[in-house]
Chain A
Amino acid sequence: MDFISKNLPYLLAGISVGGQYALIAIGYTMVYGILRLINFAHGDIFTVAALVLVYSSTIMPLYLSIPLTLVATVVLGLVVERVAYKPLRNAPRMSVMISAIGVSYLLQNLALYITGGLAQTYPAIPIISNTIKIGPATTKIVTVVTPVLTIVLVFALMQLINHTKIGMAMRSVANDFETSRLMGIKVDNIISMTFVIGSFLAAVGSLLYFTNYASVVPTSGAMPGLKAFVAAVFGGIGSIPGAVIGAFIIGICENIIKGLGWTTFSDAFTFALLIVILIVKPTGLFGEKATDKV
């Protein structure tokens, strides 16, 4: 009993942060699935979402600034795709990746310029910022909301992909651009759609993640972004269920390590896991076989 009451808060925190990583990781894995591109700017889009809420909440009530944050993040994701990736559609993959790294630094430095490098107070979102007691543990409501919301969103996304016309088009575009065009599918629109979904989920993840923190700095998103990327690789990049399961495993393990008193090593664990996965099973838990498109 003593063991449970001691470790329950860590387990809860782990499940919660795992859900937040999952929401970011889906963006990485979906874009990879369709474009075979690691969208390095995705973590920064996550940070920008936080900053949009910070600034918009100073001039309008939260019930307006939260939807605004979601919309602005989606628009940012779309603009990044149109400006930085679409013109490179027929370029070698390496060029697109370098473009993604460029966008990442651009967003980071833009955030640095706008915030002046100072920590910005993150607004307390009512209800989910309140504390509750679960057994012996005291935590914020967001800890409980996150995994539930994550599972609901992932379920909705899987329904969209597997049982709708647009989902079918997304799967066929992921298979083969040219043949998809022959079916009359507007490939660029489908690609935009994946950026819309990825950015939207990153914005939701951002709202949940930063509720646990008092403030945001321009690099706040870098670490969760990177860990979500590790989660996507761990689960098998390209696979949505893989990314979600990978994210939960990483979130829980990290926090259990903290609970054991090795907080210093919790980040190291995540990246050590990345190295081990890349050596032992490079395709991840649910990754596609490494057959290249022919």
Chain B
Amino acid sequence: MLKVNDLKVNYGGIEAVKGISFEVPEKSIVTLIGANGAGKSTTLRSIVSLVKPSNGKIEFLGEDITGRDTNDIVAKGITLVPEGRKIFPDLTVLENLKIGAYMRKDNLTEDLNWVYDLFPRLKERHWQAGGTLSGGEQQMLAVARALMSRPKLIMMDEPSLGLAPLIVQGIFEIIKEINKQGVTILLIEQNANMALRTADIGYVMETGNITLTGSGKELLVNEQVRAAYLGK
């Protein structure tokens, strides 16, 4: 579904991504794991054209989308749940959801019901300003907002960051649930344990390169991965 080929990105004068290639098959959950500064976020940001790659090709559903305008890429069905959630604090929960569907012109009732089913909390709080929600609720809102664009591929940048373990568990349950309903997922995480347990395919990134590839289960028992990311 998504094919990234020899992607290089310069960011703030350094080469943050040094020619990586990977694939995200349709209906799968793929994860990129790695330490801080490995280039994971930069990779996602260049897929939606928030930063322009200096080299390489990004293909989505057979179409070259490298360097296209962000709104074109979103219209094609890719959405990014940004790092730090980035919900709009002054907009209400409902408005945050509606703005997620900004590109769409059809009726939103069905989708609102869908995300309210996934996150009943948001329904209770639909009139509240986004900024008044707790961290976990904000993460739910960020995911729900991304779903409102009816994406084919949803990319998540560290959804577990700064959340209590119980809430992280909940977020990963939701990720699996969304995937079951047919949405492809590309997840980047520092929480390698949870990410690899959830993912079909995993890639390990180190200082701008992909150094290991395998199924989630394989990587989970891989000696190198265990030593570097799982603390064993």
Contacts and interface: CB of A to CB of B under 8 A. Distances in A.
B71 A186 contact: yes
B63 interface: no
Nearest to B73: A184
B70 A171 contact: no
B163 interface: no
Contacts of A178: 50, 82, 86
Contacts of A174: 90
Contacts of B145: 183
A168 B70 contact: no
B70 to A, nearest CB: 4
Nearest to A174: B90
A149 to B, nearest CB: 29
A169 B89 contact: no
Contacts of A169: 99, 102
Nearest to B86: A179
A184 B100 CA distance: 8
Given A165-B102, A168-B99, A178-B50, A184 B74 contact: yes
Interface string A172-183: 101110110111
A185 interface: yes
Contacts of B103: 183-184
B95 interface: yes
A182 B81 CA distance: 9
Interface residues of B, number: 22
Contact of A182 (B82, B89, B90, B91): B82
Contacts of B176: none
A183 B99 contact: yes
A185 B82 contact: no
A183 B102 contact: yes
Contacts of A182: 48, 50, 70, 74, 79-80, 82
A175 B91 contact: yes
B88 interface: yes
Given A183-B100, A185-B102, A175 B50 contact: no
A186 B72 CA distance: 10
Nearest to B148: A183
Contacts of B75: 184
B190 interface: no
B149 interface: yes
Interface in A164-209: 165, 168-169, 171-172, 174-176, 178-179, 181-186
Contacts of B89: 175
B3 interface: no
A292 to B, nearest CB: 14
A184 B86 contact: no
B57 interface: no
Interface in B80-106: 80, 82, 86, 88-91, 95, 98-100, 102-103
Given A182-B80, A182-B82, A176 B88 contact: yes
A165 B75 CA distance: 17
7 contacts: A179-B88, A181-B70, A181-B71, A182-B74, A184-B71, A185-B99, A185-B102
A171 B102 contact: no
Contacts of B98: 165, 168
Interface string B189-202: 00000000000000
A185 B71 contact: yes
Interface in A90-140: none
Contacts of B102: 165, 169, 183-185
A172 B70 CA distance: 16
Nearest to A167: B95
Nearest to A175: B88
B50 to A, nearest CB: 6
A171 B50 contact: no
Contacts of A171: 88, 90-91, 95
B50 A172 contact: no
Return the 8 tightest CB-CB contacts between A and B, nearest first: A184-B103, A184-B74, A179-B86, A184-B71, A181-B70, A175-B88, A183-B102, A172-B88
Interface centre among A169, A174, A179 (most CB of B within 10 A): A179
Interface centre among A169, A174, A175, A184 (most CB of B within 10 A): A184
Contacts of B70: 181-182, 184
A35 to B, nearest CB: 17
A77 B71 CA distance: 25
Given A183-B99, A184-B102, A168 B71 contact: no
A182 B69 CA distance: 10
A158 to B, nearest CB: 15
